[in-house]
Amino acid sequence: MLTALASGAKQDQNKNMAKDPTFICSKCNAATTKWSGKCDTCGEWNTIEEVKPLSTGPKSKKAMGGIRGKEITLTDLATTEKEPPRTLSGVGELDRTLGGGLVKASALLVGGDPGIGKSTLLLQAAARFARNGLKVLYISGEESASQVQMRARRLGLTESPVKLASETNLRDILTTLEAEQPDFVIIDSIQTMWLDTVEAAPGSVSQVRAAAHELTSFAKSRGIAVVMVGHVTKEGAIAGPRVVEHMVDTVLYFEGERGHQFRILRAVKNRFGPADEIGVFEMTGKGLAEVKNPSALFLSERGDPAPGSVVFAGIEGSRPMLCEFQALVAPSPHSQPRRTVVGWDGSRLAMILAVLESRAGVPFTGLDVYLNVAGGLRVSEPAADLAVAAALISAREDAALPKESVIFGEISLSGGLRPAPQTENRLKEASKLGFTSAITPVRAKRGGDAGVAVREMQDLHTFVEQVFGAR
């Protein structure tokens, strides 16, 4: 029976292969074998596009040379290069996010909202790398070369030997790259590039996918580092860049809230370094400036102790970072109270509210709950649970927590508190910024408190009782 199933599956596969080209929804990336006006998966209209295969493959059996001679054994690793060669830009925040510098023969994607500062960041990076001896080419499909030059002048980068070009025809670009042999190329943006072999408009999934494929293989075969800029559309549809994410070695997202000047470059995928590493920048009148002490920046707007405000000692990538959680709790006029979150996970908030109610006796029924991370930072660590719970209770009870205290720890569904990784680093950072006390889960081994008075709590119930009084 099993074998019959397997061969059936194979037949299906063959059938699908014969039906190439397939169709892809530009909104949700669902693949189908026939065109339709409406996507069956996400229900969106006019989003189905035809996608031709990237290459037709070898024409005959003869053309298949096989891979003999190209294989290596793991033991060969001892004799080959241990680390890929890297170049530093000299901008610490950028180099760290890249995993310790730019890797030769690699493809990167830098995604982000339009207007967030991607072109500015990459022009500044281009200038830095050029000054450090790399041959850099910046190709813009969105602005003319003189516009990019004007921007460079505003940023004070006119001394840097970066070559600029304005072009969208990828065939022409690749020909130029072949002749110029640069070390580092910036393509701004991948959505403006088009290949004459693909019959679709620039920006469509087919064009973006084909262009990214060409550029990625070019980067690998010629030993060039290629950065592609990808716009994320308003609705959060990243159909274009999403398909590119799988092809490239490194994916960086440039984030930030419109009203704030902070910008965060976040590595969400990195074949050459740790993911989740972040770089913090500030958008100034003269471009992006690195922020060397992000904790101080994220806490700079804090005033006197206020109910609902809690300082969380977090870890972003490889370094500790303090930030402020703010909560507001108010009686709800709605039958279904509001739960609004900015900078944290909405379903995690629902979980904390449920645990607070059933394990610690703090109900939020009939109350609207608003939670915000100050400064436009986005936190995804479970260790923020206890800080969130503290902010919620503090807002609900209208009782401010001591100003010089930091809080962290993960909450389990049973109401228990789990110790957070790198507790010592968190405490050290808190101490550096003048905090004198901390509330944390019980650790297996005490020590390394960095002069901070640590109060350890066994579970959420104890925490509520000891911090907010018996109820």
- Total residues in contact with ligand TYD, by rule CB under 6 A: 15
| Residue 120 binding partner per list ligand TYD, Mg ion, none, with a CB distance cut-off of 5 to 8 Å that depends on partner kind | ligand TYD
| Residue 112 binding partner per list ligand TYD, Mg ion, none, with a CB distance cut-off of 5 to 8 Å that depends on partner kind | ligand TYD
Is 140 a binder of ligand TYD (CB under 6 A)?
Answer: no
Least distance (Å) from Mg ion to the CB of residue 9?
Answer: 45
Least distance (Å) from Mg ion to the CB of residue 115?
Answer: 8
Question: Considering only residues 119, 204, 295, 405, which one is a binding residue for Mg ion as defined by CB under 5 A?
Answer: 119
Site for ligand TYD in 300-359 (CB under 6 A): none
Residue 41, burial from CB neighbour count under 10 angstroms (0-12, 13-18, 19+)? middle
| Residue 294 binding partner per list ligand TYD, Mg ion, none, with a CB distance cut-off of 5 to 8 Å that depends on partner kind | none
Closest CA to 91 of 216, 258, 263: 263
Is 259 a binder of ligand TYD (CB under 6 A)?
Answer: no
Distance of CA 13 to the CA centre of its chain: 34
Please give the Cα distance from 228 to 194 (Å, whole number): 13
Question: Considering only residues 69, 115, 333, 469, which one is a binding residue for ligand TYD as defined by CB under 6 A?
Answer: 115
Please give the Cα distance from 136 to 186 (Å, whole number): 8
How many Cβ atoms from other residues are within 10 Å of residue 205's Cβ?
Answer: 24
Please give the Cα distance from 465 to 471 (Å, whole number): 7
| Residue 140 binding partner per list ligand TYD, Mg ion, none, with a CB distance cut-off of 5 to 8 Å that depends on partner kind | none
Site for ligand TYD in 269-288 (CB under 6 A): 283, 285-287
Is 117 a binder of ligand TYD (CB under 6 A)?
Answer: yes
Name the 3-class secondary structure at 129. helix
Cα 332 to Cα 6, 329, 335, 371, distances in angstroms: 57, 9, 8, 15
Residues 466/455, Cβ–Cβ less than 8 Å: yes
Please give the Cα distance from 375 to 362 (Å, whole number): 28
Is 26 a binder of Mg ion (CB under 5 A)?
Answer: no
Please give the Cα distance from 414 to 245 (Å, whole number): 37
Is 156 a binder of ligand TYD (CB under 6 A)?
Answer: no
- Structure-token pair, residue 28: 């949700």
Is 114 a binder of ligand TYD (CB under 6 A)?
Answer: yes
Please give the Cα distance from 383 to 379 (Å, whole number): 10
Q: Which residue, 122 or 198, is less far from ligand TYD as judged by CB?
A: 122
Helix, strand, coil % in the chain, rounded to nearest 5: 30, 25, 40
β-strand pairing of 107-112 with 405-407: unpaired
Q: Which residue, 263 or 396, is less far from ligand TYD as judged by CB?
A: 263
DSSP structure class, residue 374? G
- Total residues in contact with Mg ion, by rule CB under 5 A: 1
Listed ranges 114-122, 249-257, 319-327, 393-401: which one lies at the site for Mg ion (CB under 5 A)? 114-122
Q: Which residue, 239 or 315, is less far from ligand TYD as judged by CB?
A: 239
Listed ranges 57-65, 88-96, 149-157, 343-351: which one lies at the site for ligand TYD (CB under 6 A)? 149-157
- The number of residues in the chain equals 471
Q: Which residue, 53 or 114, is less far from ligand TYD as judged by CB?
A: 114
Q: Which residue, 115 or 469, is less far from ligand TYD as judged by CB?
A: 115
Is 118 a binder of ligand TYD (CB under 6 A)?
Answer: yes
Listed ranges 45-53, 113-121, 208-216, 220-228: which one lies at the site for Mg ion (CB under 5 A)? 113-121
* Cα end-to-end distance, the chain, whole Å: 63
Q: Which residues form the interface with ligand TYD (CB under 6 A)?
A: 112, 114-120, 151, 154-155, 283, 285-287
Q: Which residues form the interface with Mg ion (CB under 5 A)?
A: 119
